[in-house]
Structure 1
Amino acid sequence: MMASRASVLPPKALVGMVHVHALPGTPHNNKTVQQIIDIAVSESVALERAGFDAIILENMHDTPYLNREVGPEIVACMTAVCAAVHHAVHIPIGIQVLAGANRAALAVAQAGGASFCRCEGFVFAHVADEGMMNSDAGMLLRYRRQIGADNIAIYADIKKKHSAHAITADVSIAETAKAAHFFNADGVIVTGVATGDPCSVDDVRNTSQALPQGAMKTLVGSGLCIPLKWMVP
């Protein structure tokens, strides 16, 4: 199983983000489920043709986000989107369900044919836009085992964007990465302060160098403005 998860992404991978349109029940929803699916499929196919190594589907437009728990309508619609994209492309698919709805993301990935999940709040606590978010690694990995999803990789955000980290100010990003490794994440994601803002070269370097060589992937998850040599396992 571990070998399968480790091979989800190549050593140097470019992952394209598909921002799924606002889902039913959320304030900005103005499309049918089928329209949402069709747009996500079209964008995913375009990313594959452009040479991306993988795709991640995220409910970006469901603002304002809920904290950790989302309704069954979100899980159902994200699963329908994931399954349709899975049939349309031939590259790995990832899932993120905002905000911090990591169990929902795992369920979607398992049912929809995805290979990995992006998970925020995996280790340590932080204050997000949505409020306080405590770590969920223990619960999440037990849930992954319960639903038979051990083949699905978990890439954990550390010192995540759009969040305040004052309560863990005495814990460096390198030590946070070590904790994610100790708690069995398959990779860590380093971000800038907001979506589209490049992350710090030093943060990526320190994170990558803090981990045992080849132990897990270090990924960039907001804006890319760094030497690609640091995007290695």
Structure 2
Amino acid sequence: MVQKIVVSKLLNSTRPLVFAMIHVPALPGTPSNTLPMPAILKKVRKEADTYFKNGVDGVIVENMHDVPYVKPPANPEIVSAMALASDQLVKSRDAHHPGALTGIQILAAANREALAVAHTTGLDFIRAEGFIYSHVADEGWIDGCAGELLRYRSAIKADHVAVFTDIKKKHSAHSVTSDVSIQEMARDAKFNCADGAIVTGSATGNAASTRELAQVLEVEEFPILIGSGVNGKNARDFQKAHGFIVGSDFKIGGDWKNDLDATRISKFIRQINNLKRE
């Protein structure tokens, strides 16, 4: 199979690539929803424009404000709303930063739905939960889905869409896999045909472990991204990673619930441009 463009860019970059998060406002049918869809999409487009104008390498849309999350399948209104949000992301990319990378995560663990949206709207990758092994999240038990998900990807001819999976993911208990190291889990993710792995801290905004990063980087030719807690103060600690997924640090006061702070974004990008992976 031809290497996916996002995988190639990650492996060949001389510095970590920066993927910024758009936390889509609470969607219809969820407890915190207050905005109609036109207002939600306007905010998504504004944030995408801000990110691309400030030089990020990619942007991910995620329905993080839909708390509390439910296990898959995601409701139809969530999937359709995220498809519309993804369309706004793609339009912003094409207007401001052609060639930038775009991705999606649909919570919680709605990997099949995210893959469908990515394929139909032209995104490059999805962030998947529960790809391999099982764990207990705040939504309940999440089963591994690699076999079913990748068969579905083949069935809809979406093999160009990369799948990056969290391993030992945040907001979860992993006692059932306590005898499986994070390095073993990364190797198994690669064996089960994931396109890369994501290492996080214990919760949103919490930094990952540099020791765990070093362990998973021993898996050759396999992109490793840091999925939480990267900021201007600690980015250098993780400079050997292939990519950073950044949400909280790009918001006012470093709080994921707040609006974007363009000054924080541009300052962070300037810092990262001076890092070297080697």
Does the alignment reach a TM-score above 0.5?
Answer: yes
Please give the alpha-carbon distance, in whole angstroms, between the structure 2 residues aligned to 1:135 and 1:150: 19
Shift of 1:16: 0.2
Shift of 1:44: 1.0
Shift of 1:50: 1.6
Please give the alpha-carbon distance, in whole angstroms, between the structure 1 residues aligned to 2:241 and 2:49: 24
Give the corresponding residue for 1:192.
201
Decide which of 240, 254, 262 is 1:230's aligned counterpart: 240
Relative to structure 1, is the Cα distance of residues 182 and 144 closer, same or farther in structure 2, using a 3 angstrom cutoff?
same
For structure 1, which runs of at least 5 residues remain unmatched after alignment? none
Please give the alpha-carbon distance, in whole angstroms, between the structure 2 residues aligned to 1:202 and 1:40: 35
Please give the alpha-carbon distance, in whole angstroms, between the structure 1 residues aligned to 2:170 and 2:186: 15
SS of alignment partner, residue 183 of structure 2: helix
Give the corresponding residue for 1:134.
143
Please give the alpha-carbon distance, in whole angstroms, between the structure 1 residues aligned to 2:164 and 2:196: 5
Q: Report the number of matched residues.
A: 230
SS of alignment partner, residue 94 of structure 1: strand
Give the corresponding residue for 2:3.
3
Please give the alpha-carbon distance, in whole angstroms, between the structure 2 residues aligned to 1:32 and 1:146: 34
- 2:113 counterpart letter in structure 1: A
Contact 2:210–2:238, Cα closer than 8 Å, also in 1: no
- 1:193 counterpart letter in structure 2: S
Please give the alpha-carbon distance, in whole angstroms, between the structure 1 residues aligned to 2:91 and 2:216: 35
- 1:103 counterpart letter in structure 2: R
SS of alignment partner, residue 7 of structure 1: helix
Shift of 1:231: 1.1
Give the corresponding residue for 1:145.
154
Q: Which structure has more RCO (C-alpha within 8 Å, separation ≥ 6)?
A: 2
Root mean square deviation, CA, Å: 1.4
TM-score by length of 1: 0.95
For structure 2, which runs of at least 5 residues remain unmatched after alignment? 244-278
Contact 1:127–1:163, Cα closer than 8 Å, also in 2: yes
Where in structure 2 are the equivalents of 1:55-66 lying within 5 Å?
Answer: 55-66=59-70
Decide which of 64, 76, 81 is 1:77's aligned counterpart: 81
Q: Is 1:87 matched up with 2:91?
A: yes
Give the corresponding residue for 2:25.
21
Give the corresponding residue for 2:37.
33
Q: Percent identity?
A: 43
SS of alignment partner, residue 222 of structure 1: coil
TM-score by length of 2: 0.80
Q: Is 1:167 matched up with 2:176?
A: yes
Shift of 1:201: 0.3
Q: Is 1:97 matched up with 2:98?
A: no
Give the corresponding residue for 1:217.
223
Contact 2:198–2:225, Cα closer than 8 Å, also in 1: yes
Shift of 1:38: 0.8
Shift of 1:8: 5.4
Shift of 1:232: 3.0
Contact 1:8–1:153, Cα closer than 8 Å, also in 2: no
SS of alignment partner, residue 103 of structure 1: helix
Relative to structure 1, is the Cα distance of residues 29 and 8 closer, same or farther in structure 2, using a 3 angstrom cutoff?
farther
Contact 2:225–2:241, Cα closer than 8 Å, also in 1: yes
Relative to structure 1, is the Cα distance of residues 8 and 68 closer, same or farther in structure 2, using a 3 angstrom cutoff?
farther
Please give the alpha-carbon distance, in whole angstroms, between the structure 2 residues aligned to 1:153 and 1:2: 12
